[in-house]
Structure 1
Amino acid sequence: MSLADVRALYRGEEVTLTREKMAGAHQVVGVVISDPSSGNFPSNQVIIQNTRRKLTRGIVLQFGTPSSTPLVVGDSVVVETEGAALKSINGALHITGLQPSAVTKVKSGITVNPRTVSLEALVNKPGDYEGTLVKIVAGNITPTPTRTSTYSGDKQMTDGNGNNIILHTQSTATFAQERLWPSATYTGVPLAGVNPQAQTPTLLLSLRSINDVEDQSGPLYPGFPETFDNPSLVKDSYNMNPLRGVVDNTIDFSTGSWKLFYSIVGQTPGRDRFTGTWGIRMQDGRPANQSPYVQMNFDLPNGASKVTYIYGAYYTDASSTWWIEYSQDKGKTWKKVGPTMTEAGNWTRTATVLMDISGPVRFRLFKQGLGANNPPAVFNGRFAFDNFAVYAGVE
């Protein structure tokens, strides 16, 4: 039986798993995604996930005693479930009452790629991700950790938009005393739990090792990410096109004043790429060879260690070519930082650009003018992005 179907059997009360209740099935299969050897997962628990009918779901296998047959990340297993119990422990679904002999390893070394997910999606649809391997880009720890802060304990992670979970690290974890950075990209396993401060339901994200931490940086600047949400705007009024008589495209968003050049504030669901109600849409090859950009008209005081944003092609448009630029002379001159990007499709992804800039700085997203879109020779479709975030320099 798929783990999605097993999870669906739970209706608020403990369920004894029988062939009758499982429509004749008596086994589940999955790939191990937890790592008890790291010390950050209970030794009597193993977390598995599988994908059936395009649904990826996971569950905790709980044994009465620590398993005598060690299982590691990437092991494919078959689990005999007849007579075991499906129950909720602190909100997380477990299959309990298992003996080590109920689990048979059939293969090792399977690669499980994490699903990249936003904190907003985790908070709003926890059941879609609980007990599976996920990657959270630019998770921000609040309050901001100091140089001596470590992973040990429960730390609140936020996206700056009011979505919060807990980064949970056992004191016994092999990386518990490693330095905790203000922001990083985390790969781990979320499980339902309780916020230790507020005593309210939340998700607890557990890492498998220090290798699950990437793109460490300084703290997110207050007020960011910029979501470009301003309901008073009329989206077509800010496309700076002299042919249409538009000469002033400076807009005040929540973080400050921004300039939009051959770019507009878009709000078409399924076409523009945004997480709130608005996002930025940049022009394609009309008029020819113009290079759209969206730039800050203000400086941030403490340098920068990272920029992140979500992006994709507008609707079904072709991809384009773009990059991030910065200025330290109040916008008189601009320098490229990070890679040239050329991949954008009918999806939303997160870009992360690492840097080491000291002193006051401002940024812009610059889309290269390539002329009229003409695949396969020229890819220059409309480009959309949102949630532009800047992280201060590292102390």
Structure 2
Amino acid sequence: MKKYSILSLYILSGLLILSSCLKEDDNPASGTPNPVAALPVVHNLYKGESLEITRESLFGAYITQGYVISDQSAGNIPAGQLTISYNWRSVNRGLTLFLSPEVAAGYEPGDFIEVNLENTRLERVNGTLGVTGLQSTQISRIDSNNSLDVAALDIARLKSNFSQFENTLVMVTADLVEFPENGKTLAGRTMIVDGSGESVAIYVDPAADFSDIRLAPSASFRGIAFQGEEGIEIRLRNAADLVEPSGPLYLGYPEDYEDPVASTKPSYNMVAIDNIVELKTGPWQMFQSILGDIQNRDRHVSGIQAVRFQQNLTVSAFLEMKYDLPKGASKVTFWYGSYFNDQGCTFQLEYSTDQGETWEIVGEPITDAHTFATSAIAKQASFLVDIREPVRFRINKLGLGPSNGTTVRNGRLGIDDFAVYENY
């Protein structure tokens, strides 16, 4: 009896493992296999060799589903290649469907489609992993205009975990390896590098309808992660995938407020030093702000320190550069959020081109700082500017008075990783 009990447990365990690889079965009929296999399950069938997709390999399933992330209309995705992705149980995977150009052109980004996988193969074509042998009748659109997930990541993570991100929508913020000559455009294969120290190619076909856009020294590059014949590359889908182009990041930036240690500025108003602290990028005046190092309360984006502004003031609090950046600016970014679970506040980015005598507001005041209870992940503010003369910046947290929970919100504010990009 003991042998039969152990065997029964093994069989039951095996059935549970197989069932976990499939989408939950909505059919209450006992023994009826779910016809739909989640896209990550189909993706995981590939072990380096071309194979036929069968019902047996998918435990009775023969259909998969996914969101279209490619854009045939702009001319940078190879004709006939329709790329889909799907997030299942927090695992996102993508595949390319190899179709006739006419069929692929009938679908748009955001379409949710169903694919019958019978009589098809999973294989690489010119380096790209996907499904071949599909007929137009094997694909149907379920709905349209869906929002698409984009994985924002650094190049090192993209390359070291490429099997996870291949054929999915990614975005990296990076500089060109070589500063672009005047008139250089997006056309061709261009190498980019980011703070991780790794580089990767972006690719825009010279025949694409946005290939003549001027190539900026730095930007966020969004697109589909492909394994092409020349290696890993990010293929921009259209002009909108060149996000916030700018000049290169100033040397030494972003200012991460890690040096000196927090105990150097422990009080919000240190009159004896005029609230000036020598940070790695230069001297900053921190009036009614300190260097905070409390985990899960201060808004640390990198390292263990961030800036924390005082609350309930009737005067402005400042985080202000006391030096000029010589090549102007094309973009400014920083991360922000409420300290711990404080109420929000109102603050704004300002700049000066006369050594701090007068200040101009950049964009609109920001009022949506969120608590740790809402999210432990800070928000990023990004401002495109066109300042061609020496410039300095500051953050001005407005003195709205004590918070009252209704009309006035003036809690503590956290700031980290302040970045400025040169003009070009």
Q: TM-score range by the shorter chain?
A: 0.7 to 0.9
In 2, are the aligned partners of 1:321 and 1:342 still within 8 Å (CA)? yes
Residues 37-57 of structure 1: per-residue CA shift (max 9 Å, x gap): 322112232101223335443
Shift of 1:214: 4.0
Say if 2:329 is the partner of 1:309. Answer: no
Is residue 33–residue 112 contact of structure 1 (8 Å, CA) maintained in 2? Answer: no
Verify: 1:210 aligned to 2:246, yes or no. no
Instruction: Give the alignment's Cα RMSD to 1 decimal.
Output: 3.1
Query: 2: distance between equivalents of 1:147 and 1:227?
Result: 32
Give the one of 76, 80, 89 matched to 1:44: 80
AA of the residue aligned to 1:263: S
> Is 1:22 aligned to 2:48, yes or no?
no
State the 1:386 CA deviation.
Answer: 2.4
CA distance in 2: counterparts of 1:301 and 1:146, whole angstroms: 21
Which residue does the alignment assign to 2:190? 155
Q: Secondary structure at the match of 1:211?
A: helix
TM-score (norm 2): 0.78
- The AA in structure 1 aligned to 2:251 is P
1:254 has 2:289 as partner: no
Task: Write the distance in 1 (CA, Å) between the matches of 2:266 and 2:44.
Answer: 49
2:13 match? none
Q: Are 2:268 and 1:241 equivalent residues in the alignment?
A: yes
**1:68/1:355 CA distance change after superposition, 3 Å:** closer
Point out the structure with max Rg over C-alpha: 2
Are the equivalent residues in 2 in contact too, given 1:49–1:132 (CA < 8 A)? yes
In the other structure, the counterpart of 1:291 is 316
One-letter code aligned to 1:225: P
The TM-score with structure 1 as length reference comes to 0.83
- Pair 1:280-2:306 in alignment: yes
Q: 1:117 aligns with which of 145, 152, 164?
A: 152
Q: Could you report, residue by residue, the CA deviation over 1:265-285 in whole angstroms, capped at 9, with x for unpaired residues?
A: 344554444443144232241
Alpha-carbon distance, 1:388 to partner = 1.7
Structure having the larger proportion of residues in helix: 2
Distance 2:67 2:49 in 1: 26
> What is the identity, as a one-letter code, of the residue corresponding to 2:345?
S
User: Which residue does 1:332 correspond to in 2?
Assistant: 357
The residue matched to 2:64 in structure 1 has which SS? strand
Residues 1:103 and 1:83: Cα distance change in structure 2 (over 3 Å): closer
Q: Call closer, same or farther: CA 1:245–1:340 in 2, change over 3 Å.
A: closer
Report the residue type matching 1:254 in the other structure.
K
Spell out, residue by residue over 1:173-199, the C-alpha distance to the aligned partner (whole angstroms, 9 max, x if none): 2222322122334432223458x6xxx
Distance 1:311 1:174 in 2: 37
Letter in 2 for 1:389: A
C-alpha deviation, 1:144, in angstroms: 1.9
How many angstroms does 1:307 deviate by?
0.9
Output the CA distance in 2 between the equivalents of 1:277 and 1:240.
21
Give the Cα–Cα distance (whole angstroms) in 2 for the partners of residues 270 and 6 of structure 1: 39
What does residue range 220-231 of structure 1 map to in structure 2 within 5 Å? 220-230=249-259
Structure 2 alignment gaps of length 5 or more: 1-36
Q: In the superposition, relative to structure 1, how do residues 249 and 18 fare at CA in structure 2: closer, same or farther (>3 Å)?
A: farther
* Letter in structure 1 aligned against 2:339: Y
1:300 and 1:10, CA in 2 relative to 1: closer, same or farther beyond 3 A?
A: same
- Give the 5 Å matches for 1:1-395: 1-63=37-99, 66=101, 68=103, 70-73=105-108, 74-87=110-123, 94-101=129-136, 103-107=138-142, 109-115=144-150, 117-119=152-154, 122=158, 126-127=162-163, 129-136=165-172, 139-192=174-227, 202=232, 204-230=233-259, 233-242=260-269, 247=273, 249-285=275-311, 288-345=313-370, 346=375, 347-394=377-424
